[in-house]
Amino acid sequence: MRIIDFRNGLEPERLSLLVRQHSDEARKWEERVRSIVTDVAQRKDEALFAYTRQFDGVQIGSETVRVTREEIAEAVRQVDPELIAVMRRALEKIRHFHERQKQNSWFESNPDGSMVGQKITPLDSVGVYVPGGKAAYPSSVLMNLVPAKVAGVPRIVMATPPGKDGKGNPVTLAAADLAGATEIYKVGGAQAIAALAFGTESIPRVCKITGPGNRYVALAKKAVYGTVSIDSIAGPSEICILADGEASPRYVAADLLSQAEHDELAASILVTTSMELAQNVLLEIQAFTRTLSRKEIIQQSLENQGKIFVVRTLCEAIEMANEIAPEHLEILTKNPFEVMTKIRNAGAIFLGAYSSEPLGDYYAGPNHVLPTSGTAKFFSPLSVDDFVKKSSILYYSREALQSVHTDIIRFAESEGLTAHANSIRVRFPEEKNETGEGADENN
């Protein structure tokens, strides 16, 4: 973690280099993932199970790939009932928030007999990827399944890699059961994404794939985009804390560390107007790190991606946050609401001293699947919108079309599209001679 002094002025070019270190390995990984995806698309189950053997070290077949009701019941029995109660309370908060995101179909009608509108329909099916292996991520399960459920998606599939024992993680399964998954498959990695996108003999294809994952999963999602929809491509997690001299260095340090523990590539960034805070945060980080269980990951993450930017003014700090477009933005300033109004680019914005980032990861209700790597400039948090699609509705009566048909014909002809013009003209045969059917000469 180091302090970088921007008090002589912002340099956006330099900032962008500092915030995200990209590697040139990307292309090599893309090729590997692409070959897995293509293989599963072609050889289906056969390839899917072969990769599961190779990457997860587990023998799965068409009879065992889908988690049974009994396995779920067994998983639920294995989980601490207190944790289930916590998950249930979190689920309620998350559901409540997402219910607010639901949009209505709407239409507008006019006395001339015309109507236009927008129809909202849940996706037929969705595949939610949940990382697995050693750790369980029940919060990911809730955050992905709940909006799909709220949207009304009838077929909600979860894929999660099996452990060495060939079973799904009990906590993950219990959370999926709580949140209403309709099918669960024990597959992971790029091969799981390919199976969801193209379908195999055992896993019927889905319309959209969401959920976090490692680099294999992220690149596989990119590769299948278009065949299915995806949420957004998740990169390493990141936090940006925007703090003035009044912020508690202890809180700032603890919150930066909570991000750093995710993985070695996670980015923890402090943007502050106070060099004193910057220095105190460094001291607090050293003290905390010693006591934390994931200190190796934290130290690597802070060394690679941890940054403290000191700037002259709050205005510049805000500008910098907008440039960084962080996944998580904590505002620890005198008037956090005021600052928030000026933030254009951030996945989730946490206001004030008691809204630390883990509140959003687990509990408050807003989704924790957020745009990373600066994509908050154009992507949004996962939401109910991700699990519906819209259709435009158009109805015109003869009278309504009559009043605008010459305009439409004129417009179509300006684009040289005479069959378009003809499709309108044929409805008004009494005008045939006036406007000239076919209008060959018009192109």
Kindly identify the residues of this chain, within the stretch 290-309, that bind a copy of itself according to CB under 8 A: 291-294, 298
Pick the closest to residue 239 from 316, 141, 323, 324 (CA basis).
324
Residues in region 213-272 near a copy of itself by CB under 8 A = 222, 225-226, 228-229, 233, 250-251, 254-255, 257-258, 260-262
Judged by DSSP in three states, 209 sits in strand
Q: What burial class does residue 416 get, using C-beta atoms within 10 Å of its C-beta: 0-12 exposed, 13-18 middle, 19+ buried?
A: exposed
SS3 (DSSP) at 274 = coil
What minimum distance in Å lies between the beta carbon of 252 and a copy of itself?
10
258 versus 273: smaller Cβ distance to a copy of itself: 258
**Contacts with a copy of itself: how many residues (CB under 8 A)?**
126
Of 328, 330, 357, 405, catalytic: 328
Of 41, 58, 171, 173, the residue at the interface with a copy of itself (CB under 8 A) is: 171
Task: Determine the interface stretch with a copy of itself among 39-47, 187-195, 196-204, 364-372 (rule: CB under 8 A).
Answer: 364-372
Nearer to a copy of itself, 64 or 205 (CB): 205
Among residues 195, 67, 212, the alpha carbon closest in space to that of 130 is found at: 212
The phi, psi pair for 219, rounded to 5°, reads -70, -35
Residue 328 known to be catalytic: yes
- Of 62, 64, 118, 335, which one interacts with a copy of itself (CB under 8 A)? 118
**β 328-332/348-351 pair status:** parallel
Which residues 368-387 are close enough to bind a copy of itself by CB under 8 A? Answer: 370-371, 375-381, 383, 385
Q: How far apart are CA 118 and CA 100, in angstroms?
A: 19
The SS3 assignment for 229 reads strand
Q: Which is nearer to a copy of itself, 64 or 95 (CB)?
A: 95
Which part of the chain contacts a copy of itself (CB under 8 A), choosing from 13-21, 158-166, 195-203, 416-424?
416-424
> What is the C-alpha to C-alpha distance for residues 335 and 341, in angstroms, rounded to an integer?
11
119 binds a copy of itself (CB under 8 A): yes
The residue annotated as part of the active site, out of 261, 319, 327, 330, is 327
Q: Where are the beta strands (DSSP E) in 38-146?
A: 106-110, 114-122, 125-129
Q: How far is the CB of 154 from a copy of itself (least distance, A)?
A: 10
Piece of 12-20, 44-52, 135-143, 308-316 that binds a copy of itself (CB under 8 A): 135-143
**Own/partner long-range contacts of 350-357 (Cβ < 8 Å, ≥24 apart):** 353/247, 353/248, 353/251, 355/330, 356/251, 356/254, 356/255, 356/258, 356/330, 357/239, 357/255, 357/258, 357/259, 357/328, 357/330
Instruction: Using the CB atoms, write b or e for 152-173: b if 16+ within 10 Å.
Output: ebebbbbbbbbbeeebbbbbbb
Binding to a copy of itself in span 1-30, by CB under 8 A: none
Q: Is residue 3 helix, strand or coil? A: strand
Closer to a copy of itself by Cβ: residue 69 or 134? 134
- Our answer to whether residue 262 is catalytic in this structure is no
Smaller CB separation from a copy of itself, 166 or 358: 358
Catalytic residue annotation: 327-328
